[in-house]
Amino acid sequence: MTTPRKPAARKRTPSKAPAKRPAAPARKMGHAPDTVYLFSRDLHGTQLGVTHARHDGTVAGIRAAARRLQGDAEVEHYGWSMAASSMIATDAHGHAGWAISPNLAHINPVGSEGAAYTLGGPVRNPARKRAPRRR
């Protein structure tokens, strides 16, 4: 006498919903070593494009590359605004290292108060406490 078999597992049919696609990896910018990136914007803040140039790792080299990029942006991007644009220089490992002011006078390390001011972010001093309210 034979033992009864278990019923075969029911085959799954594909659902009618479209298959989920894996999320596309975020595009990484600014990871080339020793490179200056210029994010060109117009007066309204609309990004017009990104240009880049290599530098030699010195402050003078960063300034020279940034000056070249500003000259190229005037030709390539109609309506480009130097004041609304931002520039970042990477270090030898490809990490964002310095924020460059639009007039090329200041090159501040990323994460500093000067870099936050140059890039238009909030300038916060966590060590400063608020004065007590007057009643």
pLDDT at 36: 95
pLDDT at 16: 53
pLDDT at 109: 93
SS (H, E, C) the chain: CCCCCCCCCCCCCCCCCCCCCCCCCCCCCCCCCCEEEEEEECCCCCEEEEEEEECCCCHHHHHHHHHHHHHHHHHHCCCCEEEEEEEEEECCCCCEEEEECCCCCCEEECCCHHHHHHHCCCCCCCCCCCCCCCC
Q: Which residues in the chain come in under a pLDDT of 50?
A: 17-27, 30, 125-129, 131
Q: pTM for the full model?
A: 0.68
Structure tokens at 3: 């033992």
